[in-house]
């Protein structure tokens, strides 16, 4: 009982911190309309955490994973992804991130990082949901991997549909394509890469448990 209380307290603290960060990052925004639209996604993902406060089904690891993804999204929403000043942050430590990884210096790559992080940070949550329902480990891993790809695809379809209802400039700002016609495919590929790496990690952990 004490352990459950401590876990719930930690989760509540994390949610409070996320709320505070979202408020701070919403102040003096250069893109208020686009940021508001971006935060619709924040509310959708954050609902997972609010539901778990009552349901108490997620491990702290899965809860932190969803929280980390939300935090990255809050940062991205502040600068509508295309203008996140991450390079200034790394320059302060004396190195060029673009040069280090051979990235195109004319493009802001923060959105790519977040799509990869979607596969990494959301995987534990999705896996635990399936593990709770179907019990079987390997089937849960497969379903979690497939679910990540499905939601990644649906998000790209949502971005495309958004272009049909808002102005061309607004759609461009929200989607963050930055002139790349293969942006959607690259984003989905990075989410797939992130979830694939997590599938391998979880499979390895399960294999070690079986050997013991």
Q: What mean pLDDT comes out for the span 28-34?
A: 84
Write out pLDDT tens, residues 15-25: 999 999 999 99
Confidence of residue 173 (pLDDT cuts 50, 70, 90): low
**Ramachandran sector of residue 58 (left: φ over 0; alpha: ψ -120 to 50; beta: rest):** beta
Report the chain's mean pLDDT, rounded to a whole number.
88
pLDDT at residue number 171: 58
Give the domain extent around 170: 2-211
pLDDT at residue number 89: 85
Helix pair 137-162, 110-121: axis angle to 10 deg? 150
Are 126 and 148 spatial neighbours (Cβ–Cβ below 8 Å)? yes
Confidence of residue 169 (pLDDT cuts 50, 70, 90): low
Cα–Cα dist 24/75, whole Å: 10
pTM score of the predicted model: 0.89
Q: Would you say residue 4 has pLDDT above 60?
A: no
**In this structure, what DSSP letter does residue 92 have?**
T
Q: Would you say residue 131 has pLDDT above 70?
A: yes
Give the count of domains, the chain.
1
Q: What mean pLDDT comes out for the span 163-186?
A: 70
pLDDT at residue number 161: 79
Q: Would you say residue 2 has pLDDT above 50?
A: no
Q: Which of 33-37, 175-179, 188-192, 207-211 has the highest mean pLDDT?
A: 188-192
Helix, strand, coil % over all residues of the chain, rounded to 5: 80, 0, 20
């Amino acid at each position: 009982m004490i352990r459950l209380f401590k876990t719930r307290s930690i989760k509540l603290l994390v949610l409070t911190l996320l709320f505070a960060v979202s408020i701070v990052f919403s102040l003096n925004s250069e893109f208020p309309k686009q940021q508001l639209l971006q935060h619709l996604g924040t509310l959708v993902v954050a609902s997972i955490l609010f539901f778990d406060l009552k349901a108490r089904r997620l491990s702290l690891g899965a809860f932190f994973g969803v929280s980390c993804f939300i935090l990255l999204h809050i940062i991205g929403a502040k600068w509508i992804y295309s203008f996140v000043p991450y390079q200034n942050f790394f320059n302060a430590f004396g190195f060029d991130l673009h040069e280090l990884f051979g990235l195109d210096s004319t493009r802001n790559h923060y959105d790519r990082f977040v799509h990869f992080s979607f596969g990494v940070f959301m995987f534990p949550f999705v896996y635990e949901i399936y593990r709770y329902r179907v019990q079987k480990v390997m089937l849960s891993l497969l379903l979690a991997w497939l679910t990540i790809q499905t939601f990644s695809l649906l998000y790209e379809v949502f971005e495309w549909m958004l272009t049909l209802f808002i102005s061309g400039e607004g759609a461009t700002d929200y989607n963050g394509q930055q002139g790349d016609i293969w942006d959607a495919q690259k984003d989905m590929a990075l989410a797939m890469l992130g979830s694939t790496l997590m599938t391998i990690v979880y499979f390895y952990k399960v294999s070690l448990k079986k050997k013991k």
